[in-house]
């Protein structure tokens, strides 16, 4: 291809010259100029598709929003998912702790104007925002967001976009220039965009693909590596470059490590692995690395956690001689650690990991940018229809996804094996179905595959404590006829093909002991559990204290670090996190709070480490009554909290 370069009003026009090349592709310095072109070519009814999560072209989205907000004759519909937002702390301590972290990690990230308007309840009547997956909990109290939510499997969103007549797609891209050719990678979000481009090429869709270049975005080879001609225009300017959204990894709690360790024993060598974001995914990955590198410790810890329970027939403890192949809608940082540890090493057509989108801390993006091209080619970003479904090219996927383990998080489960992951029984949506149902369906479609749904057995503390295992619930994400494997910190419930009686018994054995008697009574009253049934002895000590005691020696030896892969929190912040968690827990119980006040009032002079923590929150020299009160509480919490390993 030869290009004639012309500059008009500060925008670079690349007019492709060659056989069959009649398309004009423009590189713009201004998002507003791109909006001028969109309105001129598309008209005043704009159906804007924005990728899930990281891949949104924020400046273009904001410019379109501003134009529509100023011109009521424009009808703008935004179809997207997982709108990323900076944390919004509420209490004084939260603001003082997370404020500097927000500035450090998200200071240059441009807020999305439509999200700000939604939170304020001020979205103009000519603008509609439809999301099919929420940032967890972000929109529980927004009637407008709740009313415009679209319940969809991740793989169905593509068809819904087509049906709505999407005419603009605005996506963040990475740029590569080599051999006189400019190429763009959709990088973090091949998920729906790749299939949309195929539909456009086949004449099933007509939309403008708009790119916004980001210098921090890794250029990923594969299906998302596109020629400039695929784009109608590109925003490429230092003024619109910005740091990628990078949520910091959270420390892994004892309960989540226990869940990860139980799940790690269900993964077969030579198999396939899918995991999601968060502490449980990180805990599972670190547990698999422990199984590979410190196998004797992994086996001993698994037996200690079992507390005398018979290990599942599915339990595996060997090192990874053949290794695993990764196929996951989400590519999380833990996958890089699994590759580096030699756990993820079974390749499929030369690829170790196929994924549809990624999101992670800064270290994840940096690792991908710095990774040699040959290694990066072993991580291939694909359409979500590839990772989440098996209908197309089933035979190849059946062979590739041998003994697959699809591990996903849930909020609650019922004694009969139904799972609740996305919403509440009053209809309000917490997050979304995403790909969870897709992977459960795959687990039943593929030979040797299993769906593993994980959850903590309880939440809250003191009088506010509640069981996450319920007798029944008025909403379900995964129905009980698709029940498979459920894992809590207290063990594994293998439910596939079991009778209702045996399912209930298995779920009771992994429930928190504070709630077992009540749950058992409900099941017996309903006639679903034998009146003579009693819990086995090994299931009667399902308390957090036992998990903490079991894990403590392994924590102290550094085998179960709180941040196994990376952290953006400094040493003082890492010291504060467990103390603030203890404070939050104590706030649910007046007696616990009073005990902290007593201990804080009579505490000895703070150590230099504790003094630095107090200073970090501005409590070294308190001036108000509230600051004095928080200082007393925090001194006690710092003394009592177990430091992060």
pLDDT at 5: 43
Helix (H, G, I), strand (E, B) or coil at 227: strand
Residue 297 pLDDT greater than 50, yes or no: yes
Report pLDDT digits (tens) over 446-465: 999 999 999 999 998 878 89
The mean pLDDT value for 397-409 works out to: 97
Residue 645 pLDDT greater than 80, yes or no: no
Query: Cα dist. 85→66, 97, 111, 119, 240 in Å?
Result: 19, 17, 7, 11, 18
List the strands of the sheet with 404-409, edge to edge: 379-381, 353-358, 325-331, 272-274, 404-409, 450-454, 485-488, 491-494
Cβ-Cβ contacts under 8 Å for 109 (sequence gap 6 or more): 58, 86, 242, 243, 244, 245
Local confidence band at 385 (pLDDT 50, 70, 90 cut-offs): very high
The mean pLDDT value for 407-429 works out to: 98
Angle between helices 279-293 and 254-264 (to 10 degrees): 50
pLDDT at 17: 36
Distance CA 593, CA 597 (A): 6
Distance CA 412, CA 488 (A): 10
Angle between helices 333-340 and 362-370 (to 10 degrees): 50
Nearest 5 degrees, angle CA 180-CA 184-CA 185?
A: 140
- Indicate the range of 17-21, 416-420, 626-630 predicted with least confidence: 17-21
Full-model pTM = 0.93
* Residue 583 CB-half CA count within 13 A: 22
**CA-wise closest residue to 175 among 217, 209, 222:** 217
Local confidence band at 20 (pLDDT 50, 70, 90 cut-offs): very low
Strand partners, 357: 189, 330
Distance CA 320, CA 145 (A): 45
Report pLDDT digits (tens) over 571-618: 999 999 989 988 888 887 788 888 888 888 888 888 999 999 999 999
pLDDT at 476: 97
Query: Cα dist. 298→63, 226, 255, 517 in Å?
Result: 53, 44, 16, 32
Local confidence band at 25 (pLDDT 50, 70, 90 cut-offs): low
The mean pLDDT value for 234-262 works out to: 96
> What integer best gives the mean pLDDT of the chain?
93
Helix (H, G, I), strand (E, B) or coil at 452: strand
Report the share of the chain in percent with pLDDT over 70.
96
Phi/psi for 160 (5° steps) reads: -65, -35
Contact status, residue 191 vs residue 359, Cβ threshold 8 Å: no
Distance CA 24, CA 467 (A): 60
pLDDT at 8: 42
Cβ-Cβ contacts under 8 Å for 314 (sequence gap 6 or more): 265, 266, 450, 485, 492, 494
Helix (H, G, I), strand (E, B) or coil at 166: coil
Residue 536 pLDDT greater than 60, yes or no: yes
Distance CA 134, CA 82 (A): 5
pLDDT at 11: 53
Sign of CA dihedral 104, 278, 50, 227: positive
**CA-wise closest residue to 489 among 317, 262, 645:** 262
Report pLDDT digits (tens) over 336-350: 999 999 999 999 999
Report pLDDT digits (tens) over 494-526: 999 999 999 999 999 999 999 999 999 999 999
Distance of CA 497 to the CA centre of its chain: 30
Count of positions (residues) in the chain? 645
Contact status, residue 182 vs residue 158, Cβ threshold 8 Å: no
pLDDT at 13: 47
pLDDT at 597: 86
Local confidence band at 371 (pLDDT 50, 70, 90 cut-offs): very high
pLDDT at 89: 87
pLDDT at 644: 84
Local confidence band at 4 (pLDDT 50, 70, 90 cut-offs): very low
pLDDT at 316: 94
- Residue 217 DSSP code: S
Sign of CA dihedral 547, 550, 554, 555: positive
pLDDT at 16: 41
Report pLDDT digits (tens) over 162-221: 999 999 999 999 999 988 899 999 999 999 999 999 999 999 999 999 999 999 999 999
Local confidence band at 91 (pLDDT 50, 70, 90 cut-offs): confident
pLDDT at 215: 97
């Amino acid at each position: 291809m030869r290009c004639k370069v012309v500059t008009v009003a500060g925008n670079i026009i690349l007019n492709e010259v060659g056989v069959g090349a009649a398309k004009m592709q423009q590189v713009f310095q201004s998002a507003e100029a791109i909006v001028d072109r969109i309105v001129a070519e598309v008209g005043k009814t704009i159906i804007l598709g924005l990728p899930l999560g990281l891949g949104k072209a924020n400046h273009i989205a904001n410019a379109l929003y501003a134009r529509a907000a100023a011109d009521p004759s424009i009808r703008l519909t935004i179809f997207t998912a997982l709108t990323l937002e900076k944390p919004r702390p509420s209490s004084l301590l939260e603001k003082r702790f997370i404020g500097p972290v927000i500035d450090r990690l998200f200071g240059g990230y441009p807020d999305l104007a439509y999200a700000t308007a939604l939170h304020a309840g001020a979205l103009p009547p000519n603008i509609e925002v439809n999301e099919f997956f929420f940032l967890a909990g972000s929109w529980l109290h927004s009637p407008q967001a709740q009313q415009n939510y679209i319940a969809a499997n991740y793989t169905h969103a593509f068809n819904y976009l087509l049906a709505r007549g999407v005419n603009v797609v605005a996506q963040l891209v990475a740029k590569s220039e080599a051999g006189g050719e400019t190429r763009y990678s959709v990088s973090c979000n091949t998920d729906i965009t790749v299939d949309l481009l195929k539909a456009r090429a086949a004449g099933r869709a007509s939309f403008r693909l708009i790119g916004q270049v980001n210098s921090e975005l890794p250029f990923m080879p594969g299906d998302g590596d596109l020629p400039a001609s695929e784009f109608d225009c590109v925003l490429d300017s230092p003024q619109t470059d910005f740091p990628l959204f990078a949520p910091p990894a959270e420390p892994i709690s004892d309960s989540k490590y226990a869940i990860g360790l139980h799940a790690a024993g269900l993964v077969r060598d030579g198999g396939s692995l899918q995991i999601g974001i968060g502490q449980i995914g990180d805990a599972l990955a670190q547990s698999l690395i422990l199984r590979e590198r410190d196998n004797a410790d992994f086996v001993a810890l698994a037996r200690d956690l079992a507390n005398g329970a018979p290990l599942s027939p599915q339990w595996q403890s060997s090192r990874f001689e053949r290794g695993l192949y990764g196929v996951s809608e989400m590519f999380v940082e833990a996958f890089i650690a699994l590759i580096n540890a030699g756990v993820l090493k079974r390749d499929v057509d030369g690829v170790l990991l196929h994924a549809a989108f990624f999101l992670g801390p800064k270290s994840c993006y940096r690792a991908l940018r710095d990774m040699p091209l040959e290694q990066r080619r072993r991580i291939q970003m694909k359409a979500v229809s590839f990772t989440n479904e098996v209908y197309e090219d089933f035979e190849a996927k059946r062979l590739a996804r041998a003994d697959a383990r699809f591990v996903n998080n849930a909020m609650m489960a019922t004694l009969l094996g139904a799972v609740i992951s996305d919403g509440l029984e009053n209809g309000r949506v917490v997050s979304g179905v995403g790909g969870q149902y897709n992977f459960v369906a795959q687990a039943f479609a593929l030979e040797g595959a299993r769906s593993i749904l994980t959850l903590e057995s309880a939440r809250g503390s003191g009088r506010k404590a509640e069981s996450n295992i319920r007798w029944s619930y008025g909403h379900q994400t995964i129905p009980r006829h698709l029940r498979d494997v459920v894992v809590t910190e207290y063990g594994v419930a293998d439910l596939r093909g079991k009778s209702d009686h045996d399912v209930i018994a298995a779920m009771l054995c992994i429930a928190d002991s504070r709630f077992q008697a009540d749950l058992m009574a409900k099941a017996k009253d309903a006639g679903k559990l034998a009146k003579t049934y009693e819990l086995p002895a090994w299931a009667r000590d399902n308390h957090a204290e036992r998990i903490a005691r079991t894990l403590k020696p392994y924590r102290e030896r550094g085998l179960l670090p709180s941040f196994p892969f990376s952290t953006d929190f400094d040493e003082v912040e890492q010291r504060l996190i467990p103390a603030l968690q203890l404070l939050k827990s104590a706030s649910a119980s007046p007696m616990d709070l009073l005990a902290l006040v007593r201990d804080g009032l009579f505490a000895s002079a703070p150590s230099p480490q504790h003094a630095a923590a107090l200073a970090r929150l501005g409590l070294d020299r308190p001036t108000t009554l509230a600051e004095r009160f928080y200082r007393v509480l925090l001194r006690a919490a710092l003394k009592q909290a177990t430091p992060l390993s």
